[in-house]
Amino acid sequence: MLLSEFVDYLDRISGTSKRLEMNEIMKQLFLEHRDEVDILAYLIQGKVAPDYSGLEIGISEKTVMRVLRNLTGATENEEISLFAKTGDLGEMAEELLSRGKQTSFFNEPLTLDEFFKILLKMTGVKGQGSSGTKEAMLTDLLIRSTKRESKYIVKIITGNLRVGVSDASIITALRLAFKPEIEQSEVEDAFNFHPDPAYVANLLLNDRINESAGPTPFIPIKVMLAERLQSLAQIIEKLGGIAALEYKYDGLRIQIHKRGNEIRTFSRGNEETTKQFPEIIETVRKVNADTVILDGEAVPVNSETGEIYPFQDVSRRRGRIYDLPEVSEEIPIMVFLFDIIYLNGVPLNGKSYTERRKMLLETVGENDRLKFATQIITKSSEEAEKFFETSIESGCEGIVAKSVQENSIYRAGNRGWLWIKFKRDYQNEISDTLDLVVIGAFYGHGRRKGSFGALLLASYNRERDMFESVCKIGSGFTDENLSEMKVIFSNLITDKKPSNVDSEMIPDVWIYPEKVIQIKGAEITLSPVHTCAKELVGKNGLAIRFPRFTGTWRTDKKVEDCTSSVEIYELFKMQKKTSYKEDSN
Ligand SMILES: Nc1ncnc2c1ncn2[C@@H]1O[C@H](COP(=O)(O)OP(=O)(O)OP(=O)(O)O)[C@@H](O)[C@H]1O
């Protein structure tokens, strides 16, 4: 396939705001170029490998600008004003190159495969002199490409493709192209255990998708997640009258993979975190298993008393965002294990919670770095209440209740009522924090003049693959937070509403949905303005009243992992039930 043909597809995808149409275009692309689907599955999001690989092209904006100046004779000032106008290096490249450039002696058009190989090569260029090498590689690419291709080359190389293609839409389009007869959930399951779109494409192409999906050592899985309910009695009832309750540790999710002497850890967002946990790695080395995948929570503890520190307090006090390495220098980290997903060549995801817990206890020995999550199994909500209180006294944020029924499998990447979380209930408050995605910003007034004063936030609607507006937030920000925002959003501001955003409220600037912010809110109300869960509610959408920033940017969460519109709708319904009860009393 020629790069120019791929660029045609990118133009068509970025030209539509309709999800179905976008999926159709991608389906056609995958069908017509099935022999290159491995490459396409990455490049369609401007990537060269699955996210967990951590591979980056790593070329700086400065380098790109220098290359463009050399090729076109533009001055630095021209570039600065053009960048201010377009806000995007790709658009800028297209405009500068359309004024004329150095051309190539050999006019062979670039193929997609060549382009991909050059990108891969760039990821491997490191160390001294690497910036010069990358500069030369980019110059070659741009000399050989048309101005339209150059636009996308620059966007991809600088990590700014942003045509609105999510993992979910790729997975859907791959299924539609190669196996439309199977259920979407089957493909999602495979992806949740092996979050690599090219891997899933191959499973579909080779008719192997129905081999049961499961974990593979050293491929980080999308972890299992919990639903919420408002009372312990409701929770026990929902789980079939009996439940395992575990302390809910307030730390960072950690997935530990071990094979022989090799041990690696991954975060909730599938980033490799091995270097951040040297002491944990050493301890896991002693675990008596050849291959194993463990799931747990890493928590800072007081080295004197063994007491647990609430993680968010530790990070907030230091004014940092989820910054483990520096914390661990002074404060030791412990891991509380609560699951085992793979053992000695056998995937355990299909086994029940009770079986997995038993295997976890048999496989791992506790020590002062590694412990099992404190657990009871109960039918009684009074007992649950007491257990909840002791968890709070021990420095935890609540409990996670887990199904002990036959079907209590490990569901990667899913909520689905096998795990339910319960936190301390604050009166007149939504008890849990929400993680929302920034989709726009408003300029500040008065003291906040010159920086942003408020943000427009959205929840994620999985079904529609859209970010739906849910509140405008201006509270809880310190001056420092506000000035930081310029840096946080520097590459994400756009004057056009992104195609995967649904909002009737118009901010001063739109922001590509890439940053997740944690907030607290008072209640959820019906809203004629916001679009959250609109198709579930009816005429109105939902909004969060009195939202305020908790001080934490959820850098460990991908935007698709933020609070979903359905969750907000569930919270809204629970709230209605509670207030109904209060009214009738
Ligand atoms: N015993 C436990 N079992 C499962 N998860 C636990 C346990 N203890 C702590 N956790 C943590 O609790 C998280 C779920 O609760 P919480 O809502 O606080 O986290 P979140 O990341 O904001 O939300 P979520 O993970 O549900 O999207 C898990 O992802 C895990 O990191």
Distance CA 335, CA 273 (A): 14
Distance CA 205, CA 4 (A): 25
Active site residue 248: yes
- Tell me, using a 6 A CB cutoff, whether residue 245 lines ligand 1: no
Instruction: Tell whether residue 69 is among the known ligand binding residues.
Output: no
Considering only CA atoms, which residue is closest to atom 4 of ligand 1?
400
Instruction: Tell whether residue 318 is among the known ligand binding residues.
Output: no
Nearest to 522 by CA among 549, 544, 502: 544
Nearest to 210 by CA among 179, 173, 172: 179
Atom of ligand 1 nearest to the CA of 435: 22
- Tell me, using a 6 A CB cutoff, whether residue 554 lines ligand 1: no
As a CATH number, domain 227-422 is: 3.30.470.30
- Tell me, using a 6 A CB cutoff, whether residue 435 lines ligand 1: yes
Q: Are strands 370-372 and 333-343 parallel, antiparallel or unpaired?
A: parallel
Domain 434-574 listed as CATH 2.40.50.140 = yes
Task: Give residue 332's pLDDT.
Answer: 80
Task: Give residue 340's pLDDT.
Answer: 98
Q: Which of 134, 222, 248, 558 is catalytic?
A: 248
* Class level of CATH domain 46-157: mainly alpha
419 CA → ligand 1 middle, Å: 10
Answer whether 473's CB lies under 8 Å from 490's CB: no
Number of C-beta neighbours around residue 15 at 10 A = 12
248 CA → ligand 1 middle, Å: 7
29 CA → ligand 1 middle, Å: 38
Task: Give residue 537's pLDDT.
Answer: 92
Place of tokens 């009195």: 546
Instruction: Tell whether residue 386 is among the known ligand binding residues.
Output: no
State which H helix or E strand residue 484 sits in. Answer: helix 479-488
- Tell me, using a 6 A CB cutoff, whether residue 189 lines ligand 1: no
Q: Is 180 exposed, middle or buried (0-12, 13-18, 19+ CB in 10 A)?
A: exposed
Beta-carbon contacts of residue 372 (< 8 Å; ≥ 6 apart): 336, 337, 338, 360, 361, 364, 366
Measured in whole angstroms, the distance separating CA 55 from the mean position of its chain's CA atoms is: 17
- Tell me, using a 6 A CB cutoff, whether residue 248 lines ligand 1: yes
Number of C-beta neighbours around residue 60 at 10 A = 12
Task: Give residue 555's pLDDT.
Answer: 87
Domain boundaries, the chain: 46-157, 227-422, 434-574
Q: If DSSP codes are grouped into helix, strand and coil, which group holds residue 162?
A: coil
Considering only CA atoms, which residue is closest to atom 30 of ligand 1?
253
Residue 441: strand pairing partners: 455, 509
Q: If DSSP codes are grouped into helix, strand and coil, which group holds residue 478?
A: coil
ipTM confidence score: 0.96
Task: Give residue 423's pLDDT.
Answer: 87
Residue 299: strand pairing partners: 334
Task: Give residue 319's pLDDT.
Answer: 37
- Tell me, using a 6 A CB cutoff, whether residue 227 lines ligand 1: no
The helix/strand count (H/E) of the chain reads as: 21, 21
pTM here is 0.87
Distance CA 305, CA 446 (A): 47
Distance CA 340, CA 347 (A): 9
Instruction: List per-block mean pLDDT (blocks of 10 residues) for the chain, which spans 585 residues.
Output: 97 92 97 97 96 91 92 88 85 86 67 97 91 94 92 95 93 96 94 96 92 89 93 95 96 94 94 89 94 95 74 47 50 91 97 98 93 97 94 89 98 92 70 92 84 94 95 91 88 91 95 95 89 93 92 90 95 71 37
* Six-digit token string for 8: 């045609």
Distance CA 247, CA 374 (A): 6
Instruction: Tell whether residue 253 is among the known ligand binding residues.
Output: yes
Task: Give residue 581's pLDDT.
Answer: 41
437 CA → ligand 1 middle, Å: 19
Q: Is 522 exposed, middle or buried (0-12, 13-18, 19+ CB in 10 A)?
A: middle
- Tell me, using a 6 A CB cutoff, whether residue 421 lines ligand 1: yes
Task: Give residue 546's pLDDT.
Answer: 86
Task: Give residue 230's pLDDT.
Answer: 83
Task: Give residue 102's pLDDT.
Answer: 56
